[in-house]
Amino acid sequence: MTITTISTGLLTGLLWFVFVLTSLLWLTDRTRFKDGIARCARKRYLSNYAGPTGYGFVARRESLPLAGGITVHRILEDATHILTHDRLPTLAEARASISTRVAEYIARVDARGYRGILSGPQTEETIAEQAALIAGLGWVLHLKFLPWFHQTYQAIAVEQERLHFLECACGAPPLDAEEHVRRSCTGKALMIRTDLLARRRTGQGLAYFECKTTGWDSESWAEQWETDPQLALGTLDAEALWGGEVTELYVVALSKGSRKRDRYEDDGVRRQQSPLCYGYLRPGNPPLMPDDWLPSYEWVNEAGEVKRKSRAHRRTGVWQLQGSDWPVWLAYKGSDPQLTPSEFWVRQLPVSLVDRICHVIGPMNRQDQQLRSLLRSLQAEEGRWQDALWRLYELQQAGHVWPSAVFQSELDRLIPCSWACRPFGREHQCEFVPVCHRHVGWDDPMGSGQYQPRLPHHTPELQQAIARGLLPEQAEEPEEEE
């Protein structure tokens, strides 16, 4: 079966589901599980099973893309030298990694036309702002987190993907995913991506680190991880694979700052409220007085004194350092021509600001009882989803198509909407509001041009889609959520 043999209607994903159910592994992940039980089951359905490929669909991106956590994970993955050679990346390697990830973001912007016909002064500022954010987060990782980590731990796995079998139908060894595939296993497997697994240099215990970016950093955000057993999913099978028990869990919290209007200089434009993107500039008066830059509206210096900008200092993008005559910048740039504004800026930021941008939450204990409960819940929940999709397939075979009252009634019963469409306000509402609230085109989302196929971001699922010929060229990665 290939993409050319199925129509573009919403329910064709159910045809693919039947094919997978009888010949391939059932793959799931923790995002699917959380969407289904904690946010909205309908969102899980539309994101992962509907559409022409059976891998779900996403809204066509009409807005300027913003920096997301996937980029930070790729920067961390670039630093695998700490795994393969037990050393920190060199300065040249760090610069190459960060510049590559910034270039990838610029390429995404170009692909959507925002450097061409859709460009404008505010657009260019946003692009520069988000590029500075990506570079800034990368330098914070390289300059603060990795040196601390390398001193205390030795990495043994970085951004590693694998399958954990919740249920097997073929009898293959649990850790031999390739053998399960060869035997056409129809069991259930959880797709896991281990961010960073390490061993203490002074002992045998293993520690697991998971990177999280957030624009809503708060005490309550930090406290949630202590009781969330899903954090420990990245540690499954660690003892069998790496010969040690995971005794420490950490969250590496990277704050992007919220995107909103500046409370001190409100010109009606939403900007990234992060010292990685903006400083405060007092323009110079050559030749009498050069530029002067300050790191933030308010900060704490090394002596513990609270400092605040003057009225003459105005918020200015870090990228504008490139044309500044600030003596500090010129001195460093003169001695290192390869130095970029973002690298220089992060190196100059006060420790109090860097600590707010990047901090480690933990150590936390792995809650094994809750983890075992979660795995049982996952196994049962995936079984319910298989039953629900089978029932919807049977309705389709009986002639009840997507917009029909019979199908919609059964969909409501089996896969209900939570109607929590705007948990963070209108600006961050669920991308499926037009479908669930029956806006124009809801009866044929793909045909209306509002949506396009989802590109799986877990390697096993992506390989599965490619192998089945079910991955069209226009597939799009889902946007990340905070």
- Say whether pLDDT at 200 is over 90: yes
d(CA 54, CA 13): 3
pLDDT digits (tens, 9 = 90+) for 443-456: 999 888 889 888 88
Q: Encoding tokens for residue 169?
A: 């139908």
d(CA 308, CA 436): 48
Alpha-helix residue ranges (DSSP H) falling in 2-145: 12-23, 30-34, 41-48, 69-78, 81-84, 91-111, 121-140
pLDDT band for position 292 (cuts 50, 70, 90): very high
Position 424 scores a pLDDT of: 79
pLDDT band for position 479 (cuts 50, 70, 90): low
Burial call 27-47: b when 16+ CB within 10 Å, e when fewer: bbbbbbbebbeebbbbbbbbb
d(CA 329, CA 226): 42
- Say whether pLDDT at 10 is over 60: no
pLDDT digits (tens, 9 = 90+) for 166-189: 999 999 999 898 898 888 898 999
pLDDT digits (tens, 9 = 90+) for 97-144: 999 999 998 988 887 777 665 566 688 888 999 999 999 999 999 999
Position 474 scores a pLDDT of: 58
Position 20 scores a pLDDT of: 43
Position 8 scores a pLDDT of: 35
Q: Which residues pair with 278 in a beta bridge?
A: 317
Q: Encoding tokens for residue 283?
A: 């323009």
| Percentage with pLDDT > 70 across the chain | 90
| Percentage with pLDDT > 90 across the chain | 54
pLDDT band for position 321 (cuts 50, 70, 90): very high
d(CA 386, CA 22): 11
Strand ranges inside 126-219, DSSP E? 153-167, 188-200, 206-214
Closest CA to 19 of 443, 469, 372, 347: 469
Position 19 scores a pLDDT of: 41
Q: What is the average pLDDT value for the chain, to the nearest integer?
A: 86
Burial call 80-115: b when 16+ CB within 10 Å, e when fewer: ebbbeeeebbeeeebbebbbebbeebbebbeeeebe
Position 33 scores a pLDDT of: 95
Distance of CA 34 to the CA centre of its chain: 15
Q: Which residues pair with 314 in a beta bridge?
A: 281
pLDDT band for position 247 (cuts 50, 70, 90): very high
* Distance separating the N- and C-terminal Cα atoms of the chain: 37
d(CA 382, CA 354): 42
